[in-house]
């Protein structure tokens, strides 16, 4: 589950850009092979089946919420702050499956809600909300001079807001095809070519970028266990290696513990840490990552063979030198995924 840390590192650096502090790093910057250790039993008894299950025609619906708070500090310059909230509704439909070869799953974005507050720059978009609250009006179709819904002209750049709205609207209804291995690993992502990834990437990069899609939706199909089941109290660990152009190579180590087992629901706690395998920067800029943490829990639906819900909190501080001045970027993020029943 700790793979989401990559997205929040990217989000924090993106915050710096919005506040004029520095460059971004792409969310899909290159993932390295994972290492996973087998669960170590502590107690006996009933075991939880951790295997993903794919059935032709299965249609799983979720709501994912991504919240982020960031602050950038530079000597002699007032601290800049940004908060953002994204809520994505989507569904996953199995269109083909083979126990040995894997499955093909269709991902469809049903709705998108975004709120960004970065000082003088504010933006709000809700694909379900008619412009100006008028029933029947196309969502967020507003005159550029008026800015996005629920924003005042003084709070936003009308041209930038209009461009953002135009970029985000085509996401709704977009279909992407996921190839998923029998163990639940998403091996490839295709589709969405009709959307300008360069444009959308500025505003909602991870949900259209293939690597971002793997990172965000991978936990729905896999708990990343080295074996197919675990009993109460068992622990296991996996290591993710990431390569971020600005920071260098990162190592994410996550410990999982099966905390409870009730009916078809298995609750797993996780806690992790992130370290720099190497430190690197752009040209003569050196950045260091510190005060990192991420932890949370998830509920695995044994009967469905899929994620039922997850919550995660994470934080980091990025410090370094930029144009001769020291820079400190602090970031806190929260991720929540909930399955929706019809």
Residue 318 sits at the vertex; the CA angle it makes with 317 and 320, to the nearest 5 degrees, is 140
Burial class (CB in 10 A: 0-12, 13-18, 19+), 314: buried
Closest CA to 49 of 306, 218, 298, 302: 302
- Measured from the Cβ of residue 259, the count of other Cβ atoms closer than 10 Å reads 13
| Mean pLDDT in residue range 101-115 | 94
Instruction: Among 13-22, 177-186, 199-208, 277-286, name the one with the lowest average pLDDT.
Output: 13-22
Cα–Cα separations (whole angstroms), residue 181 to 178, 211, 305:
10, 16, 14
CA contacts within 13 A on the Cβ side of 306: 22
Torsion of CA 274, 279, 285, 291, to 10 degrees: 30
pLDDT of residue 249: 72
Question: Residue 13: helix, strand or coil by DSSP?
Answer: helix
Q: Look at 8-17, 35-44, 95-104 and tell me which has the smallest mean pLDDT.
A: 8-17
Instruction: Detail the DSSP E strand segments found in the chain.
Output: 31-40, 47-49, 59-74, 77-98, 102-118, 121-126, 175-180, 186-191, 229-231, 235-244, 248-262, 265-276, 287-301, 306-322, 325-340
pLDDT value at 101 more than 80: yes
**Are 231 and 43 within 8 A, CB to CB?**
yes
Tell which residue, 95, 301, 300, 101, has the closest CA to residue 181.
Answer: 101
pLDDT > 90 in the chain, percent: 33
Task: Tell me the whole-structure pTM to 2 decimals.
Answer: 0.76
The average confidence (pLDDT) of the chain is: 74
Q: How far apart are CA 296 and CA 28, in angstroms?
A: 23
- Write the DSSP string, 215-283: HHHHHHH----SSSEEETT-EEEEEEEEEETTTEEEEEEEEEEEEEEETTEEEEEEEEEEEESS---ST
Q: Give residue-wise pLDDT tens across range 200-251.
A: 555 556 677 787 788 778 889 988 777 789 999 999 998 877 666 556 677 7
Structural domain spans, the chain: 4-340
Grouping H, G, I as helix, E, B as strand and the rest as coil, residue 26 is coil
Give per-residue pLDDT as tens, 57-84.
999 999 999 898 988 888 777 678 889 8
Confidence class for position 257, pLDDT limits 50, 70, 90: very high
Mean pLDDT within 135-154: 38
pLDDT of residue 240: 77
Q: What are phi and psi of 22, to 5 degrees?
A: 170, -170
């Amino acid at each position: 589950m700790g793979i989401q840390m990559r997205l929040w590192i990217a989000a924090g650096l993106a915050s710096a850009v919005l506040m004029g502090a520095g460059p971004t790093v792409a969310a899909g910057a290159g993932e390295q092979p994972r290492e996973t250790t087998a669960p170590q039993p502590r107690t006996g008894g009933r075991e939880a089946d951790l295997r993903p299950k794919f059935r032709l025609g299965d249609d799983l619906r979720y709501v994912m919420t991504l919240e982020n708070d960031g602050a950038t500090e530079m000597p002699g310059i007032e601290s800049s702050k940004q908060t953002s909230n994204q809520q994505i509704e989507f569904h996953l439909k199995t269109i083909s499956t083979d126990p040995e070869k894997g499955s093909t799953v269709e991902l469809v974005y049903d709705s998108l809600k975004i709120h960004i507050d970065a000082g003088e720059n504010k933006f709000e978009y809700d694909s379900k909300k008619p412009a100006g609250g008028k029933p029947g009006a196309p969502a967020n179709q507003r005159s550029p001079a008026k800015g996005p819904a629920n924003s005042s002209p003084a709070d936003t750049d009308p041209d930038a807001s209009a461009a953002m709205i135009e970029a985000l609207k085509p996401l709704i209804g977009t279909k992407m095809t996921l190839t998923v291995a029998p163990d639940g690993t998403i091996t490839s992502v295709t589709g969405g070519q009709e959307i300008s990834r360069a444009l959308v990437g500025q505003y909602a990069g991870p949900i259209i970028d293939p690597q971002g899609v793997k990172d965000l939706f991978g936990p729905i199909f896999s708990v990343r266990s080295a074996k197919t089941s675990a009993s109460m109290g068992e622990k296991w660990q996996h290591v993710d290696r990431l390569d971020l152009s600005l920071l260098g190579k990162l190592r994410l180590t996550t410990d999982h513990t099966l905390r409870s087992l009730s009916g078809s629901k298995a609750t797993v706690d996780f806690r992790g840490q992130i370290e720099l395998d190497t430190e690197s920067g752009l040209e003569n800029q050196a950045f260091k990552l510190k005060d990192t943490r991420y932890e949370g829990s998830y509920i695995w639906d044994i009967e469905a063979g899929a994620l039922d819900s997850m919550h995660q909190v994470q934080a980091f501080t990025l410090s370094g030198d930029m144009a001769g001045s020291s820079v400190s970027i602090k970031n806190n993020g929260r991720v929540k995924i909930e399955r929706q029943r019809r």
